[in-house]
Amino acid sequence: MGLLSKGSPLNWEETKKYADHVRKHGIVQFLNIYNKVKERQKDVLLWGDEVEYMLIEMDEKNGKVRLVLNGGEVLETLQDKGEKTNPNHPTLWRPEYGSYMIEGTPGQPYGGTMSEFNTVEDNMGKRRREASSVLNKNETLATITSFPRLGCPGFTQPEYKPTPVEKGVSKSLFFPDEAINRHPRFSTLTRNIRHRRGEKVVINVPIFKDKCTPSPFVEKFPEDDGEAARAALPDHIYMDAMGFGMGNCCLQVTFQACSIEEARYLYDQLATFCPIMMALSAASPFYRGYVSDIDCRWGVISASVDDRTGEERGLEPLKTNKFRILKSRYDSIDSYLSSCGDRYNDIDLTIDEEINKQLLDAGIDKLLAQHIAHLFIRDPLSLFEEKIYLDDENESDHFENLQSTNWQTMRFKPPPPNSDIGWRVEFRPMEVQLTDFENSAFVVFIVLLTRVILSYKLDFLIPLSKVDENMKVAQKRNAVQEGMFYFRKDIYKGCNPALDGSSSAAQNGLDSEGDNEYTLMSIDTIINGKEGIFQGLIPILNCYLENMEVDVDTRCTILNYLKLIKRRASGELMTMAKWMREFVDKHPQYKQDSVITDRINYDLLRKCDSITKGEERCPELIGDPVNRGK
Ligand code: GLU
Ligand code: MG
């Protein structure tokens, strides 16, 4: 989840005093990097995936499943046996927010050859086996996006009670601080977000109203001092801690581009796919023991780290704060970065004018300057006493401090100082799937898409406000089948830099006939195509594959992946969210009251585990890939 510094974390009051210092030096650090590497062209296309995992314990005797809070030890063991013993070890392990989470990536990035697509699933398998081998009996490694009973009494092993009144970092009614990673970065972020905001974070997720769900659905919280009663909305599942969001798992892909221009182009193009891929990967329908009416984690995480004050959120006139800020730090991107994207930048962009000017004066172009000046409207949230005064030529911690706590759908990543890493972009919206096969399918699909975009110079841009509307639709229950998404009609027209900003039709998002360049499409149409409307991404990828030299085995693997995506999009296969909903609905103990009991949770996760391990097939979710698990 970003930069890990060691040392003594400052509290919010102290951190605040250094906010301008961190921003000022962050910008200097960015400029130093930029000036050193802006011209670099030699980089090659590299990429890698990140999978986040939960450690869970299956207590068969009591019919309970719990999150095991030993991620710290597991991580240490994995690193000791892995990267610390052998620098070429095939896997890398990193901490994540929950003390029940770990994150795994391949040891080396993948390169540009097609045959590497055939190694992704193997590597994910290695990671899973490696991590599983150091777990205790009855423990297992789960790739589920949100733990259905996160925050319910006794959801952790060992069990801890939340501490809403005593000193603590979350002060949650539900989520004990022990479930937060012990590295001080995570608790500091948690506490400082709460202090900066001036109250606990507020997460309200609409409840799924089943036949017997009380209406209105209103909960009582015995330990509440009044804050929850004020914050909780009727007919919503209320949550009050960062862990409810950042304690969820996802699947991310990072690309290294050949140059900064290519990185900016990819950043923009991929941004339009964030809502589509999120809806397709939807895997998180349950929160705090209830069935919700959403299928994706996005809005939950967004609210879970929303450190904006009332003034910044527009609830009160601006007095002590500088800006009215429209979105949480975890949210969708607010501006495109490539020159072709400029005319589709139609979202109100709050920027720090001084920083913007400083960047422009230093020779940064308007689009990149405003992007950075927008990220830098935020305050640093965690700062270590030993890391205040830095060598701006050779360090980038202050830049990374703000960069890594702007958790957006896409992230544009300058190279670290003095490294041979190039300009990168990170694709962040996808939810993690049960099996390595599915996770590989999503990863390979998005990587292939970037190949096609770059080779054919495709253009998927639509006004950014429409991408935001798509993000809202994408999270709704069953969006894959019911949602309609704005999508570009003609992706071959490409962008004509000569026209940039000059044509008023283009600025309105109109094509030369005066029609909108985009229209509403279903995910099925976008992925599989529909006569007369859109060719479909899978047909485009197939066409690309036909023209590429690919060995038979790799081709077969890729086709299996594409088939999964194709059938998820058409509704022939269920999303994980839908599949989980059906499992709960059919469970003998389910009372149509939106409640996920311990027993239901246990049976669900038991089933998930055996599908993950390949002990059980699940054709309605995964189909029947021909050579899966070869
Ligand atoms: N777990 C977060 C998510 O589900 C992402 C954290 C990270 O940036 O690695 O989006
Ligand atoms: Mg992560």
- Whole-number Å distance, alpha carbon 437 to ligand 2 midpoint, is 20
Alpha-carbon distance of 460 to 458, in angstroms, equals 7
DSSP 319-383: SS-S----S-SEE------STTTGGG--S-----HHHHHHHHHTT--HHHHHHHHHHTTSPP---
- Whose alpha carbon is nearest atom 8 of ligand 1? 1
Alpha-carbon distance of 534 to 158, in angstroms, equals 53
CB atoms within 10 A of CB 173: 22
pLDDT at 499 over 50: no
Q: Which atom of ligand 1 is nearest to the CA of 297?
A: 4
Give the number of whichever ligand sits closest to the CA of residue 189: 1
pLDDT at 7: 79
What is the residue-averaged pLDDT of the chain? 94
To test ligand 1's pocket by mutation, which of 54, 96, 244, 302 has the most ligand atoms within 8 angstroms of CB? 96
Architecture in CATH for domain 10-630 = 2-Layer Sandwich (3.30)
pLDDT at 451 over 90: yes
| Contact residues of ligand 1, CB 6 A cut-off | 1, 52, 246, 248-250, 297, 301, 407
Give the pLDDT confidence of 475-484 residue by residue, as tens digits: 999 999 999 9
pLDDT at 2: 66
User: 93-102, 348-357, 358-367, 620-629: lowest mean pLDDT where?
Assistant: 620-629
Phi, psi (rounded to 5 degrees) for 370: -70, -30
Alpha-carbon distance of 630 to 626, in angstroms, equals 9
pLDDT at 512: 63
pLDDT at 48: 98
Question: 173 with 223: CB under 8 angstroms?
Answer: yes
| Nearest by Cα to 276 from 437, 115, 484, 79 | 484
| Nearest by Cα to 338 from 257, 242, 446, 404 | 257
- Whose alpha carbon is nearest atom 9 of ligand 1? 1
pLDDT bracket for residue 502 (50, 70, 90)? very low
Alpha-carbon distance of 448 to 451, in angstroms, equals 5
DSSP letter (8 states) at residue 596: -
Q: What is the mean pLDDT of residues 29-48?
A: 89
pLDDT bracket for residue 514 (50, 70, 90)? low
Question: 596 with 313: CB under 8 angstroms?
Answer: no
Percent of the chain with pLDDT over 90: 91
pLDDT bracket for residue 44 (50, 70, 90)? confident
To test ligand 1's pocket by mutation, which of 250, 281, 406, 432 has the most ligand atoms within 8 angstroms of CB? 250
pLDDT at 630 over 60: no
pLDDT bracket for residue 503 (50, 70, 90)? very low
pLDDT at 629 over 90: no
Give the pLDDT confidence of 382-399 residue by residue, as tens digits: 999 999 999 999 999 999
The pTM score is 0.96
Site of tokens 């139609």? 346
Q: Is 497 helix (H, G, I), strand (E, B) or coil?
A: helix
pLDDT at 513 over 80: no
Q: Which atom of ligand 1 is nearest to the CA of 52?
A: 1
- Whole-number Å distance, alpha carbon 494 to ligand 2 midpoint, is 34
Give the pLDDT confidence of 156-172 residue by residue, as tens digits: 999 999 999 888 999 99
Give the pLDDT confidence of 117-148 residue by residue, as tens digits: 999 999 999 999 999 999 999 999 999 999 99
pLDDT at 195 over 80: yes
To test ligand 1's pocket by mutation, which of 92, 249, 251, 305 has the most ligand atoms within 8 angstroms of CB? 249
- Whose alpha carbon is nearest atom 1 of ligand 1? 249
pLDDT at 501: 44
pLDDT at 626 over 80: no
To test ligand 1's pocket by mutation, which of 49, 51, 52 has the most ligand atoms within 8 angstroms of CB? 52
- Whose alpha carbon is nearest atom 3 of ligand 1? 250
For strands 236-239 and 424-427, give the pairing.
Answer: unpaired
- Whose alpha carbon is nearest atom 6 of ligand 1? 1
